[in-house]
Amino acid sequence: MGVTAPTAGVVSVPSLASRAVGATLELVVFIVIAAAFGVIDYYLDAVTGGLGVSAFWISFWAMAIWSAWCWPAAQRFASSFSGNHIAMLDGRPASTVTIAAREFTRAGLLYGLPLLAIETNVVPVLVLMALAGVFISRTAGRRAPWDLLAGTIVVEDFGGPATMIERSEVSSVADLQLDELRNRRNAVARRVVLSLGFTSVVVSVLIVWNIFSEAAEFFSAEDFSWSSLQGIGWFPRRGIFDVWTLFIGTLWITGIAIALAGPVGLGVAFYLSEYASPRVRQIIKPIIETLASIPSVVLGLFALSFITPQVLQPLDDSIGFASLLAAGLGVGILTVPIIASISEDAMRAVPTELREASYGLGGRRVTTSLRVVFPAALSGISAAFIVGISRAIGETMVVFIAAGGSGGAVLEYDVRQEGQTFTAAMASLGAGTDSVAGVGIAFQSLYALGALLFVITLMLNVLSDTIVRRFRQVY
Amino acid sequence: MHDRQTISLDSLRARRGDDAAGRLFLALITGAVLLAFLMVGAVGVDVVAESWDLLSNRLWGFLTSPSSADAGRAGVSQGIRGSILIAGIVILTFPIGIGAAIYLEEYANDTWVARLIQVTVRNLAGVPSIVYGLLGLAVFVNGLQGITGGRSVIAAGLAIAVLVLPIVIITSAEAIRAVPAPLREGAYGLGATQWEVIQSQVLPAAMPGILTGTVLGIARALGEAAPLLVIGAVGFYTTGNQDFVEQLRGAFSALPMNIATFAREPAETWRGHAAAASVVLLVLVFLINLVAIVVRARISKRLGR
């Protein structure tokens, strides 16, 4: 028959035996280099302690850097030396960067990991290596893990034509089937990607299980009593866990943050969606997004060093170094871009026809914005506010830095005073963990708070998700 | 004959000039935009102004010296090292996030498995960062003590990697979703397997978007301090000469931890240190953004778009 089908492109993969010889030679070189460093080190007054693990580390790095050399001539030299070269799976010659990445991975897996195992003397690394070993034996002779990572294959006879697509006669159905290597790769990829997707499920389960089991330990501990949940304030080290104090603090912080971020974020969203020309929008949007990328520690510092002395103290000199008000405003700045961007998305999702109908009836821009776009986007905007609230409740560092109350907090309704939120209380507990570790159940209260926080934010997120999904169905 | 209201051009113009509500509204929302600008500007100016003395006098010393109780000698070298190590560990876990995104966009049908993954990813994105600190403390510090060495930069890096994971998944999934279908169909038509389509067509086309997501992730990882507090990063510590493994498994610091520690010192002198460390952190984030922009431009050029 004249019909031919392409089969696997590359032939003549080096045999296992020749690879084993090469690997042994390499190991010898590795040990010789390490020994050389050890000897040199010995005569140089033992900086790293003679022939220790550190000498092997030096040798490892030297080899890794040498074999991962990106200089084409060096790679050609190395491959002519070993009598084979590295190609891509389909037979094209691999680029120098790919070869370097493959060689570096190889050096790391073959020499770095065992060193780490010896150095740290741990079972898990050995288990990891055993798994890698199983992997190698499964793909023996064809592709090692580093080849799989870099998408390469080792080919014998450097210098010959890299690709040779052989065409064979089609005589049965089997000849028309997909090449086995490609088929297997496809199946493996599917499984790998699915298991990667499951990491999020694993993480969720770990969070829920850890936090709630530790929280249960807190509530069932011997020195815990329900009456300790009420008191003059939150003083975990003295066994006073007045949750109401933290609740009031959280309420204030969130309230102030939304009072600032709500109007500003909504105004920005209206401007960007209804008033700004595309060019103006292109300039304004990145600046607002810059606000979102400022780390929260920096905003905490800003609350301390700017908001308190420059804004608040001139208005009311009874405000001290740290206050709930300053922290709330700091959190508010952090919330502005969240509310602005989600509300803007919601407003832009409103169909243009609605606006045109409004203009056609003689509606002004302000009327269109407030009476047509706003109601139509209301569900999205409320979702934006819920996400903003959830973020404000979960914000830690601004409050930890700018609201004071590190050792605990007295129940305080006045925003000009120091206070703590759920998150800030957790941060203080966490920051002082070493000194708390022996102090009864104080440390466990960290998990109780974490569980509470997790439930609150989860509920808010589910709520906003539900609203958004309903709002999507409208259009 | 019925009544007819005559509308002249003049009266229309008068009404337009009379649009007080419209002008008020425009003034309000312009004010909101300006206020947001003011916030960005004030943060930048304040941080630079507070740190100006320190940075102009001993920038190099501040960058290269370790922490110290003496404000005149304290620096952030340990913080910079810790932050870079954490970012490195986070980058190592990006393939997991991208793989999960590939599953969600390319493989997932409407099965309960896919829905479960989707729901958990969305919820994880909304979990407060400090909760990831608790997770890190339980799993990476106590559970995997053999590998991480307890309260170490490895444990912190892993906890933050988990925190960044949903961000990477969501942004990568969006980038993959945006790849036009004809690109896939063309490759299928040429006989490629599903994985080959993903590898040769979908991933290269989605790479610029994926890169944006990963850069967002790194920026977040660099600035996040709450989980580090719980895991036990140290604001102040003195060390001898550690070798690389000891650095990975021993006490560690990070730039946001330095900032938080400096900022909470009551003495005024430390305020400048906190601001200077903030400047270093912001510059670091900016540099990473810059690298991403350059790489993205190169990829786009190679793809001929």
Alpha-helical segments (H) within A162-242: 173-176, 180-197, 199-220
As a whole number of angstroms, the distance between CA A50 and CA A46 comes to: 5
Measure Cα distances from A48 to A40, A44, B51, B239 in Å.
10, 10, 39, 17
Higher pLDDT, residue A420 or A436:
A420
A297:B225 CB<8 A:
yes
Per-residue model confidence (pLDDT) at position B34: 93
B286 at the A interface (CB within 8 A)? Answer: no
Name the residue range of residue B233's domain.
59-302
As a whole number of angstroms, the distance between CA A110 and CA A146 comes to: 10
Segment B269-287 mean pLDDT: 87
Higher pLDDT, residue B283 or B71:
B283
Alpha-helical segments (H) within chain B: 9-17, 20-64, 77-92, 94-102, 112-126, 129-135, 145-148, 153-177, 181-189, 194-197, 203-223, 226-231, 244-249, 255-264, 269-302
Evaluate whether residue B65 is within a structural domain.
yes
Contacts of A26 (CB under 8 A, 6+ apart): none
Q: Please name each of the domains of chain A with its CATH number.
A: 4-158 (no CATH), 216-474 (1.10.3720.10)
Q: Which residues of A touch B39 (CB under 8 A)?
A: 291, 333, 336
Per-residue model confidence (pLDDT) at position B30: 92
Q: How far is A14 from chain B (nearest CA, A)?
A: 25
pLDDT in tens, A313-365: 888 877 777 888 899 999 999 999 999 998 998 898 889 999 999 999 988 88
Measure Cα distances from A178 to A7, A183, A444, B38, B268 in Å.
8, 6, 58, 62, 72
- How many residues in chain A? 475
Q: How many helices (H) and strands (E) does chain A have?
A: 23, 7
Phi, psi of B135 (to 5 degrees): -60, -45
Per-residue model confidence (pLDDT) at position A80: 58
pLDDT in tens, B68-123: 777 777 778 788 888 888 888 888 888 889 999 999 988 888 788 888 888 888 88
**Number of other residues whose CB lies within 10 A of the CB of residue B53:** 13
By the 8 A CB rule, do A444 and A221 touch?
yes
Q: Which residues of B touch A193 (CB under 8 A)?
A: 99-100, 102-103, 106-107
From A416, A363, A11, select the one nearest A181 (Cα to Cα): A11
CA angle at residue A258 from A380 to A307, to 5 degrees?
Answer: 140
Segment A371-378 mean pLDDT: 90
Report if pTM > 0.90.
Answer: no
By the 8 A CB rule, do A324 and A249 touch?
yes
Give yes or no for residue B199 having a pLDDT over 70: yes
Q: For tokens 């963990």, what's the residue?
A: A433
Per-residue model confidence (pLDDT) at position A12: 58
- How many residues in chain B? 305
As a whole number of angstroms, the distance between CA B223 and CA A471 comes to: 33
Segment A407-419 mean pLDDT: 75
Which residue from A125, A211, A297 is facing B256, i.e. has the nearest CB?
A297
Higher pLDDT, residue A377 or A18:
A377
From B253, B252, B255, select the one nearest B279 (Cα to Cα): B255
Give yes or no for residue B179 having a pLDDT over 80: yes
Segment A29-51 mean pLDDT: 66
As a whole number of angstroms, the distance between CA B26 and CA B32 comes to: 10
Instruction: Give percent of chain A with pLDDT exceeding 90.
Output: 14
pLDDT in tens, B1-16: 455 666 665 655 555 5
Give the mutation candidate from A200, A272, A395 for the B interface (greatest B CB count, under 10 A). A200
The band of B58, judged by pLDDT with boundaries at 50, 70 and 90, is confident
Higher pLDDT, residue A127 or A324:
A324
Per-residue model confidence (pLDDT) at position A130: 66
CATH code for the domain of B221: 1.10.3720.10
Residue of chain B whose alpha carbon sits nearest to that of A333:
B39
Q: Identify the three-state secondary structure at position A241.
A: strand
Per-residue model confidence (pLDDT) at position B235: 60
As a whole number of angstroms, the distance between CA B161 and CA B157 comes to: 6
A193:B99 CB<8 A:
yes
ipTM value for the complex: 0.85
Q: How far is A106 from chain B (nearest CA, A)?
A: 16
Evaluate whether residue B45 is within a structural domain.
no
Least confident segment among A131-145, A219-233, B133-147, B272-286: A131-145
Evaluate whether residue B114 is within a structural domain.
yes
Q: How far is A17 from chain B (nearest CA, A)?
A: 31
Segment A393-414 mean pLDDT: 80
Segment A382-398 mean pLDDT: 91
pLDDT in tens, A267-307: 999 999 999 888 998 888 888 888 888 889 999 999 988 88
Give yes or no for residue A91 having a pLDDT over 70: no
Per-residue model confidence (pLDDT) at position A169: 66
Instruction: Give percent of chain B with pLDDT exceeding 90.
Output: 13
Least confident segment among A118-122, A191-195, B236-240, B294-298: B236-240
Least confident segment among A12-21, B60-69, B114-123, B182-191: A12-21
Cβ-count burial A439-467 (b if 16+ within 10 Å, e if not) = ebbbbbbbbbbbbbbbebbeebbebbbeb
The band of A135, judged by pLDDT with boundaries at 50, 70 and 90, is low
- Torsion angle of the four alpha carbons A70, A73, A79, A81, in this order, in degrees rounded to the nearest 10: -130
pLDDT in tens, B13-53: 555 555 788 889 999 999 999 999 999 999 999 989 888 88
The band of A157, judged by pLDDT with boundaries at 50, 70 and 90, is very low
Give yes or no for residue A144 having a pLDDT over 60: yes
Q: Identify the three-state secondary structure at position B60.
A: helix
Per-residue model confidence (pLDDT) at position B1: 47
Give yes or no for residue A49 having a pLDDT over 60: no
Q: Which residues of B touch A301 (CB under 8 A)?
A: 47, 259, 263, 271, 274-275, 278
Evaluate whether residue B5 is within a structural domain.
no
Evaluate whether residue B189 is within a structural domain.
yes
Per-residue model confidence (pLDDT) at position B237: 59
B283 at the A interface (CB within 8 A)? Answer: no
Identify the helix (H) or strand (E) that includes residue A154. strand A152-156
Per-residue model confidence (pLDDT) at position B242: 56
B149 at the A interface (CB within 8 A)? Answer: yes
User: How many domains does one find in chain B?
Assistant: 1
Q: What is the rounded average pLDDT for all residues in chain B?
A: 81
B131 at the A interface (CB within 8 A)? Answer: yes
Evaluate whether residue B261 is within a structural domain.
yes
The band of A165, judged by pLDDT with boundaries at 50, 70 and 90, is very low
By the 8 A CB rule, do A420 and A245 touch?
yes
Which residue from B43, B166, B243 is facing A299, i.e. has the nearest CB?
B43
Per-residue model confidence (pLDDT) at position A203: 86
Per-residue model confidence (pLDDT) at position B119: 85
DSSP A258-311: HHHHHHHHHHHHHIIIII--HHHHHHHHHHHHHHHHS-HHHHHHHIIIIIIIII
The band of A83, judged by pLDDT with boundaries at 50, 70 and 90, is low
Per-residue model confidence (pLDDT) at position A141: 45
Q: What is the rounded average pLDDT for all residues in chain A?
A: 77
Per-residue model confidence (pLDDT) at position A433: 45
The band of A2, judged by pLDDT with boundaries at 50, 70 and 90, is very low
The band of A265, judged by pLDDT with boundaries at 50, 70 and 90, is very high
Residue of chain A whose alpha carbon sits nearest to that of B235:
A431
B123:A204 CB<8 A:
yes
Q: Which of A85-99, A169-183, A247-261 has the highest mean pLDDT?
A: A247-261
Evaluate whether residue B173 is within a structural domain.
yes
71-130 in chain B: CB under 8 A from chain A: 95-96, 99-100, 102-104, 106-108, 113, 116-117, 120-124, 126-130
